[in-house]
Every structure is written in structure tokens, then in C-alpha cells.
Amino acid sequence: MTSSTTTALLSRKGVLTWSAVLLTVGLTTSACQSVTPDAAAQGTPSASASASASTTTSPAAAVTITPRDGAKSVRPDAPVTVKASNGTLSEVTMTAASGASIEGELSADKSVWTATGGLKPKTTYTVTAKAENADGASTSTTSTLRTLTPKDTANYTVIPSSGVVGVGMPVVIQFVSPVDKDKRADIEKRVTVSATPAVKGTWGWLDGRQLIFRPSKYWKSGSKVHVTADVAGIETKKDLWTATNADTTFTVGSAMISTVNTQTHRMTVTQNGKVLRTLKVSTGRPGSKTETRSGIKVILSRESEHTMDSTTVGIPKGQPGYYRLKTEWAMRLTWSGEFLHSAPWSVGSQGSANVSHGCTNLSPSDAKWLFDHSKMGDVVKFVGSSRGLEEYNGYTMWNQTAAQWGQKSALAS
């Protein structure tokens, strides 16, 4: 009894076991047979579809800003660059704490941005950049830097600063201290002159302190001129840096061009090509150290009163030739001290003899009339003297051709 029961149980277990195996095989066979082209077309995942779904996205774009974030004592002339890897730059801004923007240039492939505007010393700048990878995903980066504090500042003035000037007035960027020769090109590259009507002209260095622009010919009356000096952040000599930019606008007035003949003792004054008056004058004694210089001069300044002092031209008090005279209606022509001015003490010689210390003497009434009709930048040409005009002695560039003046450019080849 017991034995037969046991056999039945084993037999039952065997049936169950083989049934399970047959069921498993049957299911496997059925599954393989059901993957048909039609079934796949109805949405059953295929091997290729599964591979596509698992493909990774493009790597994120990375942005590198140089100098590094938080950099200090950065030279204002140091390059500032923004570079993108694994993508392209879509936006770059650089601003000072004041809000002023710095211009920049983006490379053709949009991978590198380089600052082109000059940085000012002792200033904090913020650079913000955005780059996109191949999928259009953006990466943003912000960085700050601070420029160095210079030991001293290279100060300069733009002349004229405004107003109405004569047709011979040049544009002058005048520095307090001389600019090193190897720094002059840096200055020259960052100054511009635009005029209406347009003119051709040339920059040149009169000396180490004066960068001068002159048109090829005298300005046309009525011209509007705008000057921009984006020169902040240039080391003009060791530890001496420019700290500011500047710009100015001026207008060119009537063409007042006069000629002084030292031999006939006459001054012919013209306005826009028409003779207004011929004035009697007395100039410097011929053959002396104070003989009036020949050449084309430009009125540098006008003063209703000016004290003439021989010590400024090397004749000290107590020495022969010393003088100290208060004059009226003075118009400066040279840095060495030649003026057009009123000289009531020499009226008797005006028109017939040269008795001055180098200035052009006029009667009080003629000097007042000339003063009222003159302005800074008017042209006065002197002829008849054997003494030449030194190149540095005033705005003397009109004594050279435009091509000759152009050779004084720091950018001349």
C-alpha cells in the first residue's frame, strides 16, 4: 500500500516536470515565430530603434576667459580674450563698473572674441559670455578683472577743444610729458578725425609731445570737424599711463590769410580770397638775433593784454636788449615769442623801417581791428626775411608738403 502510493506520487511529479519543460519550450517557440515584419511595423521595438534611443547628446560648450576670474593689477594693454570649445560664442559683453562698454572682435568661426577697446587703469571690468554646443544648449560664464594702478598719469589735451577756428588750424594731441618713440604708433592708431565735408589729411609728430593732424590743404570754410582720442590705457613711458579718452568738435570759420612783407613793411589781410586791408607794420631788425622769421605761421592764441618779457627769449634783466613791455591786442605766432600786437611806440617806423624785437608791430587802431577779425588758426605768411622758421616753433606744418609731413607719422613705412 505504501509502496504503490509512493510510485504514484513520483509518477505525478514526473508528469508535472515534463509538462513544465514542454510549456517553456512551447512559449519560446511561439515568441520567436511572432516577430514578423508586420509586427515590427506595428510598433514592436527593433534592434536599430533601441540603439538610436540610447545615443548620447553633444558635449556641453565650455568658455575660457583670459585673464582669469579675479585677476588684479592687469596691464591695460594686456589682451582680453574669450574662447569657446565644443561650441561657438553667441554673446560676449565687457563693461566697466561705470557701465561703459568695451568693443571686441569675434573670429570668423565664432570661437574667439578679443577686446579691441582700450582699458583704463585702476578700473574693474566684468566679462560675460555665452556659448552654444551643437545641440543649441547654452553655457554662460562671468568673470571680473581689475587693471593696475599706475605710478603716474600721462596727461594730454586735444586742441582745439571747441569753437570756431581758422583754416590753418591743425588738430593737436598735446602731451604734458614726451611720449617714447616706440609708444607713438599706439597713440596714433587710436586717434581719428572726421570732417564734413570730408578731407584727406595726415598725422605727424612735431616733437615727442605733439601729435598733429593737418589736412592736405587748408580746411574749407564752414567745415565741421570731430576728433576722437580713444587713448586710455597706453603706457607712454615706463610707469606712465594714459587714463582717459577724449573727443572734441569744432567749426572752421572764414578763410583769413594774411601776408607780411618785411621788406615793404606791409601786411595784406584777405578774407575768403578778398583783400580787406593793407596795414603798415614794423618787424624785427634785419640781420639781428631778433629778426622776424620767414615762413607760414598760424595764430596760436589771442590775448587782449600780454606782457612781453625778454627773459623768455634768453635776454636777462640788466643785459643789452632787455625789455618788459605791456602790450594790447596780442596774437601769438611762435612759441619763441613772435606776436602781432599794438605798438604805439613804433608808429613812426611802421611802414618804413624794421625796429622791433621780432614781433610784428601795428598801430593801436590797426591792431585792434586785426584782433577783432582774427581767430586761432588763421594763417599769416611772412616773406622777405633771411631768417628761417624752426620746425618746432609753432604750428609750422604748412611749410612742408602733405607728403613730407606724412613722413613724420609713427606709422610711416
Q: Known catalytic residues?
A: 341, 359
How far is residue 122's CA from residue 73's CA, in Å, rounded to a whole number?
8
How far is residue 65's CA from residue 60's CA, in Å, rounded to a whole number?
16
How many of the other CB atoms lie within 10 Å of CB of 365? 13
- Going by C-alpha positions, the residue among 342, 349, 354, 327 that lies closest to residue 261 is 354
Burial degree of 334 (CB within 10 A; 0-12, 13-18, 19+): buried
Q: Provide the grid cell at 40.
A: 515590427
Q: What distance lies between CA 121 and its chain's CA centroid?
A: 15
- Going by C-alpha positions, the residue among 281, 288, 289 that lies closest to residue 353 is 281
Q: Starting at the edge strand that comes first in sequence, how are the strands of the sheet with 156-159 ordered?
A: 156-159, 171-175, 210-215, 201-205
DSSP 8-class letter at 206: S
Whether the Cβ atoms of residue 54 and residue 62 lie closer than 8 Å to each other: no
Name residues whose C-beta falls within 8 Å of residue 87's C-beta, 6 or more positions apart in sequence: 60, 61, 62, 131, 132, 133, 134, 139
